[in-house]
A and B are shown apart, each in its own frame.
Chain A
């Protein structure tokens, strides 16, 4: 037993350090190539899908040998591992989203629930799959829970609130506007799937991408919401209605004139969205210019410059 523990320690410690170093290396590389257009799906929480694979094999072996107890124990353990890993992964992704935004509600405590389910899965596997005594299986579960807590942390609990320059809390209004805009973009994307024309589809994809970029700017700095009110209330809604209407009609009626008109409208929408994005970016630069000027004046007054 002592030799087994020593061997496990000798393998586990360098392996863990190697994984952490690799993670850090990938993060540095990701920061360096942040402007790359295509992004691979995140690998957050992937380890918890890989580690319990022997439990699946154990369930298959138990099935092959006709051992019902082993099959049930291992299958239950693996199902719990899978559910816990999925919850934890969703929790990690929504935490990333929460960190990116300046205004956001506290996410569902998926990381905490996922860690709890993984702890339960470890306990069930140790008890029913590996036949450890229940107290020992509980210790395995607690160790897994502590490991998840230390490695992944628990969910953020407080919302990121936003107050405008008059000191009024406008968090709910901002979130509502962003949600509505997001659903309009989703409706545009859905409608574009019903239109069987490559050129128009490409234009619609570009429009949806532009709208999402604008929304990202608004999420990062909700003060811009005032400047983008027309975009949210008029342009985006109007674009959604026109695109949905065309998607419904063009299949039934074949009119080249209608297609030309639609193409012209799409070109205009694309231009308007680009202008809106440019305006928001320019306003950020103007804000920064003002801040720099204020600071310079203050430093001059203090006699530093």
Chain B
């Protein structure tokens, strides 16, 4: 795999995993009943 591609995928994964987990933690802690995930999931 070319170096640029490897780094690009790595950075994307870091953003996706850490970014989403930390923003979701903030949303959960700000939401009144901690139901952010359940409201986002399809019914």
User: Which residues does A use to contact B, with CB under 8 Å?
Assistant: 1-2, 4, 8, 12-13, 15-17, 19-20, 47-48, 51-55, 57-59, 61-62, 65, 67, 70, 73-74, 77, 81, 118, 122, 125-126, 129-132, 140-141, 143-144, 146-152
Contact = CB atoms under 8 A, between A and B. Distances in A.
Given A55-B25, A126-B24, A12 B42 contact: no
Nearest to B42: A1
Interface in B1-43: 4, 6-30, 34, 36-37, 40-42
9 contacts: A12-B12, A16-B15, A20-B4, A52-B22, A122-B17, A122-B21, A125-B21, A131-B28, A151-B10
A52 B23 CA distance: 8
A20 B7 contact: yes
A147 B29 contact: no
Contacts of A58: 22, 25-26, 28-30
A51 to B, nearest CB: 5
Given A51-B19, A58-B29, A61-B29, 9 more contacts: A2-B42, A20-B8, A48-B18, A51-B22, A70-B28, A73-B25, A143-B13, A146-B10, A150-B7
A147 B8 contact: no
B21 to A, nearest CB: 4
A57 B14 contact: no
A141 to B, nearest CB: 8
A132 B26 contact: no
Nearest to B6: A150
A16 B5 CA distance: 11
B16 to A, nearest CB: 6
B43 to A, nearest CB: 11
Given A122-B18, A150-B10, A1 B40 contact: yes
Contacts of B30: 58, 61
Nearest to A121: B18
Contacts of A81: 18
Contact of A152 (B4, B10, B24, B40): B10
B13 A144 contact: yes
Nearest to B30: A61
